[in-house]
Structure 1
Amino acid sequence: MAESKIVLPDLPGAEYAPEPPPQGPVVWMKENLFSTPFSVILTIIGTIIAVGSLRGVFGFVANPERIWQAVTTNLRLLMVQAYPDQHMWRVWVSIGVVVVLTALSLAVWRVGGRTSGRKLTGNVMAVGGLIATIGLVAAFPFEMNVTWTGIGLAVAGLGYMVRRMMGDRAKIENIPTLAVVAGLLIGLVASLWVLQVPVPDPDTGIRAATTEPLANTTRFPWMFLLIAGFVAYGLGTRIR
């Protein structure tokens, strides 16, 4: 049986749906950054200022003359000053109340939506590109430049590979945004168990640093706060 085809008549007054406009990063840059000679000049000046700012800020941070171990050693003093140890539980309870109420509010008010894999992987690639750019332009020691650039390219490449693996499914908005936020929070809290912070070397003084893990008095409270937030959100979904 022959297939039947529908042929639309070419009517003089007929209106058809317009073709979708071209998209992509090159088109976006041409329309927003290089549309006119004045835009080109502004883009070049802005790029020079941004690169100079990145080099200055990260060069200052990575300068070996900076004694950042003094900050990490006195971090508790910077956060809560000389708050008595026996009353520190009050601080954690106050933070816990905020976490629980926030989680309940998110659940009761049905805050959140859905995003697509395309947007999510696009954000991952953007973060990777930013890290790689910092590694390329920042006034780091050469080893740090290579490390930052490699990490940025790896993150961007991971986002690109995931998008390619998802195919057309990446366009469907079926990923809950709150699930993404929850995953990030879990990752941050989990990192507290492997994070090493610089502290002064007890043998050579404050200008020499060694590393040690975070104290359990920091790791356990944040873990319990995260669990309390998830439990509160679950209860909120039941009572809304």
Structure 2
Amino acid sequence: MYVNNIQQEGEFNSQLEVTAGTHLKRNNNSNLSESLKKNLFDGWKNTLLTVLTGIFSLIVIYQVITFVVTNNWDVIYDNLRLLMIGQYPIEEIWRLWIALDLVSLLIGLTWGLWKGAGKAVAATFGSVFFVFAVIPWTTLNTSLNLTASIALIAVGYFAGDRLDGLKIPTLILWALYIPLALGLITGFGGLLEPVLSREWGGWLLTVIIASISIIGCFPLGVLLALGRRSELPVIRYFCIGYIELVRGIPLIMVLFIGQLLIPLFLGGETGIDNVSRAIIAYTFFAAAYLAENVRGGLQSIPAGQYEAAQALGLNKFKLTFFIILPQALKAVIPALVGQFITILKDTSLVAIIGLADFLGTARRISNNPEYLGRYMELYIFVAAFYFIFCYLMAHVSRHLERSLSKGNQ
């Protein structure tokens, strides 16, 4: 038969299910030199473009290495604590180390239990911890704490790799991590010495704003997307009006509304600090954009899925949350993660409303007369941090997308 003439790596079982997908075999006969010749030096135009690109790349790499080696980076290590945690009290820094140790353990457990993208996350955090632990201008106490965090990642990995029963506790700890970490940082409402949000700053403030905004905007965006497709006119038109209104105004205006107009409308004192107002503004702004991404995923689901679920007797709730929504979210994973990356980068705008985030702290340091003209080192350091964590989010997104698509191959 015709099928027998095709060499396949997969085999069919008695239930007509594919146990391993069919893949084309690679041609391994060509060596590296032939591959380079075919892809980079195929014709004079391709050769010229390759040579010019190589020369340009070497010049850029040489300039970067020269800048890194020859420049004095004292502006970074003199202000490293300010860049990372702002004005957080020195005597209370142990709280931040506990929060960091807990997330390190959770990252290790996630890697050991589920493998996959957990390896990249653990490697990234471990590498950052290691670099800061070994550089000569790190204090001994900081080096020891970072070494402990690296050790906890390893302990979590080996524990998760050997104990499958830790999956449920790990998921519960992840769900509780943000409340626990915030309570530890702020003082658990008076159980510890309170640390007001005005003392937060640097990378700490950026991570807090981005994390809470991402977690908050996701369910709100999903509800707005579902509401926009609702059969109830009141709900549908409210969601449409909210989404179009928020998407029609710039983020900085939303931040100013949160900082200035909310206290005015509520009669002056609101009891909500500036950081909380910024988080609320980011959450509601990002939810409108995320709702449109989710709506696109909902529209991509074929009508047959609805008909099959209705034929099984599923009600609208089960149809939406167990059949349609999981497929829609899987289809828009790149768009969702792109939105999350945008939230992380847009936290830099809080400097305009007076908050000392990561980039805002760097700008304030560069305005110090002692460090005039040293802005390049600061901005490279800030850009490197943003790139590392944005790229990590994108990498996890790609891995998650591949793993969820295996059933479709």
TM-score (norm 2): 0.29
Q: Structure with the greater relative contact order (CA < 8 A, sep ≥ 6): 1 or 2? A: 1
More strand by share: 1
More helix by share: 2
